[in-house]
């Protein structure tokens, strides 16, 4: 599933095409994705101008000039592609096509159909059922070591599981949690409640740094994810531990010849990668 860096990359790729631009035609090519489309979905979008785009956690937010917001989630396999209108024939998994006044198209393609689109009044957006319980944005000014420590206090789950809880930090997923814990020097097995003080400061800083580097690299391309231009992200080439079981981690002598290397365990049915030497 695309995580925060991938979604942020998509938002940045859509801005030149959509911000300040009117939607002239909307082709809704099926009745539902993960959930049914809102009533009169295409008609409510046609003729509307996109005032600006934003991101909340893993959600794309397109603000419209009539006070509504098009809320999108890419699901497991979804991506958005920008092209010239009519340049490509619609494919079987191109479920929504937005055509702009500038003669460009934005296609939402979702093979597995786990994505979603909804229309929400902007003044009710914060209370939407998908957004209401989200934690702080890890790249926002409200995120810090003390804030993270406060959200982790009293939690008996391992820190890896706690960070995947969107109520603790919004937008983090499996890849970037493993990477952040590595750079913070914190074991994924450690009790979340024990990540306080200096540990929480290191972890908050690592989260910010990992996400920032991933966005600069266009995200990580696994399976279906591509940028709006069709290019792959390349942060997967910079992973320190994720997917590298048995290898030595960067700057460490923990490799297989030393009887160690990056370890893989399963936590809450998700693969976790970490260095047993450096993460405590």
Could you confirm whether 2 is annotated as catalytic?
yes
Catalytic, out of 12, 44, 244, 270: 270
Q: How would you write 53-116 as a 3-class SS string? A: EEEECCEEEEEECCCEEEEEECCCCCEEEEEECCCCCCCCCEEEEEEECCCEEEEEECCCCCCE
Q: Dihedrals φ, ψ of 203, to 5°? A: -70, -45
Gap between the Cα atoms of 137 and 4, Å rounded: 10
Check if 58 is active-site.
yes
Q: Which of 48, 55, 58, 107 is catalytic?
A: 58
User: What is the Cα–Cα distance from 79 to 111, expressed in whole angstroms?
Assistant: 9
Closest CA to 110 of 34, 14, 171: 34
Q: What are phi and psi of 177, to 5 degrees?
A: -70, -45
Out of 2, 136, 138, 188, the active site residue is 2
Residue 18 phi, psi dihedral angles, 5° rounding: -115, -30
CB proximity list for 199: less than 8 A, separation 6 or greater: 184, 186
* List of residues 6+ apart from 136 with CB closer than 8 A: 142, 143, 147, 151, 169, 170
Residue 229 backbone phi and psi in degrees, to 5: -85, -10
Residues known to be catalytic: 2-3, 58, 270
């Amino acid at each position: 599933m695309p995580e925060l860096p991938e979604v942020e990359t998509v938002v940045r790729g859509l801005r030149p095409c959509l911000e300040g631009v009117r939607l002239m035609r909307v082709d809704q090519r099926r009745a539902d994705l993960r959930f049914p489309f809102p009533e009169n979905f295409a008609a409510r979008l046609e003729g509307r101008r996109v005032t600006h785009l934003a991101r909340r956690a893993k959600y794309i937010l397109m603000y419209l000039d009539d006070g509504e917001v098009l809320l999108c989630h890419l699901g497991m396999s979804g991506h958005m592609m920008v092209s010239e209108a009519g340049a490509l024939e619609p494919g079987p998994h191109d479920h929504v096509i937005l055509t702009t006044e500038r003669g460009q198209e934005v296609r939402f393609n979702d093979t597995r159909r786990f994505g979603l689109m909804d229309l929400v009044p902007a003044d009710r957006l914060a209370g939407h059922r998908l957004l209401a319980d989200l934690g702080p944005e890890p790249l926002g000014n409200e995120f810090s070591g003390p804030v993270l420590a406060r959200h982790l206090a009293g939690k008996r789950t391992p820190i890896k599981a706690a960070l995947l809880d969107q109520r603790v930090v919004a937008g983090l997923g499996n890849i970037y949690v493993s990477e952040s814990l590595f750079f913070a020097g914190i074991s994924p097995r450690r009790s979340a409640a024990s990540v306080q003080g200096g540990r929480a400061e290191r972890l908050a800083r690592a989260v910010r740094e990992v996400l920032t580097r991933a966005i600069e690299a266009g995200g990580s391309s696994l399976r279906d994810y591509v940028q709006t231009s069709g290019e792959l992200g390349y942060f997967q080439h910079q992973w320190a531990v994720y997917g590298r079981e048995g290898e030595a981690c960067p700057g460490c002598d923990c490799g297989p010849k030393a009887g160690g290397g990056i370890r893989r365990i399963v936590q809450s049915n998700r693969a976790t990668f970490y260095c047993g030497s450096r993460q405590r």
